Structure 1
Amino acid sequence: MDRKIIHVDVDAFFASVEQRDNPKLKGKPVIVGGTSDRGVVATCSYEARRYGIHSAMPIFKAKKQCPYGIFLPTRHSRYKEVSEEIFKLFYSITDLVEPISIDEAYLDITKLNRNPRNVAYYIKEQVKKKTGLTVSIGISYNKFLAKLGSDWNKPNGLKVITEDMIPEILKPLPIKKVHGLGNTSCEKLNKIGIFIVEDLLKMPSEYLVNFLGKYGIEVYDRIRGNDTRVVKNTRVSKSIGRETTLEEDTHDKTYLEELIFKFAKDISTSLKRKHLYGKTITIKIKLSNFESHTKSKTINEYINSFEEICMVGVNILNEIDLDRDIRLIGLSVSNLSKADVRQLNFFDLENDFCKNNEKL
């Protein structure tokens, strides 16, 4: 049986929620991510995208390109509330829902006795009715093509990609549209004259494997319409982390340790809520010249208490030579597991820093 996969992506989610909650913002270039020049764009409205604004762009650059833009801080609790309402709709249609992020998901409707187009129109209608937002939807027989379809004619788009369209419909697309090809791989391919999918189709599978490593065969298959990945109705986070861009560049270790403490508490809360434990703790810093560095430590057992995360994080920070000012610091826990049995802890929880800061 051919699979029927739908990919749903909420259009400009954060910015659309802000415009919905404040009608005065409709039709205006809304940029969500903060008002400080030191932040980055989380997302922006389509009006702002006309100025070349995009996610991860530094706020100071966005302000130069769109001086009359409306810059807003993120409201994660509000976005989560709206997201939960949308996902409740997805789960009312099928149990096979795979969340990709707060604003997008795959749905496998193969076993439903319904036309995929009708399901897509129903989702669009209900999301608009319940939240006032629009979604773009892709429909196909695998995840790669469904995802490609949802991005085809945003916003409020709908694209069906069938097997008989392959590979002709893919040939003119830039190679960055191929799932599995990141910026570095695309740059390498561009250097040898590979810019569009039609160029990729001329490359033998052996060459792609040699050139791209283990992902080469996946890329080879996908551009020919083959993708065997299934929609999973459970998705374990790969990592949980927090980071912040500082108001002023600094290498004050005491201040940075305080931030690590706050991050550890927040991460611990998230881990416990999801019944997760982690073994790898990572500190990320970005220097004043935007140069990024990470340092990780993998411990012998799974942890999720803030004291343990804090202690490892502070120890890692103390191993970093902070001879230059930094503008951003982050903490994350990865190598996660749903483990429900803890071994005796080898940590000495009398760690002075974490214990003393418990009162903060």
Structure 2
Amino acid sequence: MQRAIIHVDMDAFYAAIEQRDDPALRGKPVVVGELGRRSVVSTASYEARPYGVRSAMPTLEAKRLCPHAIFVPVRMARYREVSEQVFAVFGEVTPEIEGLSLDEAFLDVTASLRLFGDVETIGRYLKREIRARTGLDASVGMAHNKLLAKLASELSKPDGFLRVTPETAQAVLDPLPVGRMWTVGKVAEAALHRIGIRTVGELRGADPRRLAQALGNHAAQLQRLARGLDERPVESDVEEKSISAETTFETDLATFDQASAWLARLAERVGERVRAHDLAGRTVTVKLRKPPFETHTRQARVPAPTDATDTIYQTGRALLRDWWNAQERPRLRLIGIGLSGFGAEPQSVLFDADEGREKDVVADAINRRFGGGSLTRGAALKTRRSGSPDGGAS
């Protein structure tokens, strides 16, 4: 049976909440993120985007591009509250929900079709109910796999509603620039351009051997995606097998200090999520991708299950240093870190060895109250001045 997959992505979620809560902001360019030398844009309203303002941009740069923009502080607790309302709507149509962030999720509604009707009927219900309960717009993409469902929501934004069928998939995919394809970053895009491939259709029909010379082992997977083929399931298991975070960069990291700083920032995200789930793990994994698509992973076990950010970071940093020193010309286009091997040992045993846990708990409380990143480690501060995070936690 053909799967029915829906991708829901809230439109400019944080900024839309600010505009909803404060009517004086409606219709105006709103930037979520406080002005400051080390601050970055969390989200920009659609009124700010024509000026070039985008997520992860330094707020001072956003101010230069859009001098009349209104900057508001991050209110993460408020965004989580609204996110719970949105996900409650998802739960009314299917238990198969893969949350990607507070404002984005995949839903497998294959088993729900007999109860609710076709996938478009379910998609319309989601849009209508989210709007009724939150006052916010959601873009809904529908297809028979995750790749095309996500692409459908992206192509139809804002307030989008688009279904891609097996019959229409290539007509949608072929004209797109290759840079719109999932997993195609700036380096891969440049490599494809060098061999004359600029559209997804040209990628689909390219000689596999020529592609492999340009992209290495990743070429075959990219060509499958260009043909609209994606077998990834919607992963909705409640029990987490691993918690991780990763970031891809527009400009490759060229120094160990840069890479270490980003690893610290990602370790903070992982540690906060691990503690929020009341978990502790024994295995730290780092993911490192050299340009264009050569991916390496390294793992290490810690002596006792941990949820401490410092333990996760220092273990990952040692793995990163070993890898870095072994490279002739180290460069990184992606870096990630994760924790796995979760156990059910008594909490008092788990945390006795983690001297830094008390400060982690304080940092978590501050970040929940004032927004993620309000309090961060000194080791991560260099990330405020470089890089461009696009990935997330998984």
Q: 1:220 aligns with which of 218, 223, 228?
A: 223
Contact 1:174 / 1:197 at 8 angstroms: preserved in 2? yes
Post-superposition offset of 1:175: 0.8
Contact 1:301 / 1:343 at 8 angstroms: preserved in 2? no
SS at match of 1:198: helix
1:238-289 CA-partner distances (Å, limit 9, x unpaired): 4269xxxxxxxxxxxxxx9xxx9xx97x96564233143343388xxxxxxx
How does 1:251-266 map onto structure 2 within 5 Å?
none
Whole-angstrom CA distance in 1 between matches of 2:24 and 2:345 = 52
Whole-angstrom CA distance in 2 between matches of 1:348 and 1:86 = 38
Post-superposition offset of 1:2: 1.3
How does 1:241-252 map onto structure 2 within 5 Å?
none
SS at match of 1:93: coil
1:185-232 CA-partner distances (Å, limit 9, x unpaired): 112212222221122122133443443344322221121121111112
Contact 2:284 / 2:302 at 8 angstroms: preserved in 1? no
TM-score, normalised with respect to structure 1: 0.76
The match for 2:63 is: 63
The match for 1:35 is: 35
Contact 2:305 / 2:350 at 8 angstroms: preserved in 1? no
Structure 1 residues 61-70 or 189-198, which shifts more? 189-198
How does 1:99-138 map onto structure 2 within 5 Å?
99-111=99-111, 112-113=113-114, 114-138=117-141
Post-superposition offset of 1:89: 0.8
The match for 2:342 is: 338
Whole-angstrom CA distance in 2 between matches of 1:276 and 1:13 = 29
Aligned sequence identity (%): 35
Whole-angstrom CA distance in 2 between matches of 1:316 and 1:93 = 40
How does 1:1-360 map onto structure 2 within 5 Å?
1-111=1-111, 112-113=113-114, 114-234=117-237, 236=240, 238-239=243-244, 270-278=273-281, 279-280=283-284, 298-301=300-303, 303-306=305-308, 309-310=309-310, 313=313, 334-341=338-345, 349=353, 354=356
TM-score, normalised with respect to structure 2: 0.69
Cα 1:2–1:355 shift into 2, 3 Å: closer
Cα 1:25–1:357 shift into 2, 3 Å: closer
Cα 1:34–1:86 shift into 2, 3 Å: same
Whole-angstrom CA distance in 1 between matches of 2:149 and 2:34 = 32
1:157-198 CA-partner distances (Å, limit 9, x unpaired): 111111111322211101122112122211221222222112
Contact 2:243 / 2:270 at 8 angstroms: preserved in 1? no
Whole-angstrom CA distance in 1 between matches of 2:315 and 2:2 = 53
1:339 partner amino acid: G
2:276 partner amino acid: R
SS at match of 2:8: strand
Whole-angstrom CA distance in 1 between matches of 2:224 and 2:28 = 42
Structure 1 residues 142-151 or 178-187, which shifts more? 178-187
Whole-angstrom CA distance in 2 between matches of 1:45 and 1:181 = 26
Whole-angstrom CA distance in 1 between matches of 2:135 and 2:109 = 24
Whole-angstrom CA distance in 2 between matches of 1:346 and 1:233 = 27
Whole-angstrom CA distance in 1 between matches of 2:167 and 2:358 = 66
Whole-angstrom CA distance in 1 between matches of 2:344 and 2:212 = 39
1:239 partner amino acid: S
Whole-angstrom CA distance in 2 between matches of 1:50 and 1:146 = 25
Post-superposition offset of 1:4: 1.0
Structure number with greater CO (CA < 8 Å, separation at least 6) is 2
Contact 2:7 / 2:105 at 8 angstroms: preserved in 1? yes
Whole-angstrom CA distance in 2 between matches of 1:97 and 1:232 = 7
Post-superposition offset of 1:357: 7.1
Whole-angstrom CA distance in 2 between matches of 1:116 and 1:316 = 43
Post-superposition offset of 1:78: 0.8
Contact 1:240 / 1:271 at 8 angstroms: preserved in 2? no
2:306 partner amino acid: N
Whole-angstrom CA distance in 1 between matches of 2:83 and 2:351 = 38
Query: Based on CA coordinates, which of the two structures has the bigger radius of gyration?
Result: 1
1:121-175 CA-partner distances (Å, limit 9, x unpaired): 1111110111010001111111111100001121101111111113222111011
Cα 1:347–1:25 shift into 2, 3 Å: closer
SS at match of 2:105: strand
Post-superposition offset of 1:305: 4.3
Query: What are the ranges of 5 or more consecutive residues in structure 2 without an aligned counterpart?
Result: 247-260, 287-297, 322-335, 363-394
Contact 1:280 / 1:335 at 8 angstroms: preserved in 2? yes
Post-superposition offset of 1:358: 9.7
Q: What is the aligned-residue RMSD (CA, Å)?
A: 3.5
Whole-angstrom CA distance in 1 between matches of 2:360 and 2:37 = 32
Whole-angstrom CA distance in 1 between matches of 2:357 and 2:10 = 43
Post-superposition offset of 1:45: 0.4
Whole-angstrom CA distance in 1 between matches of 2:73 and 2:212 = 43
Contact 1:173 / 1:197 at 8 angstroms: preserved in 2? yes
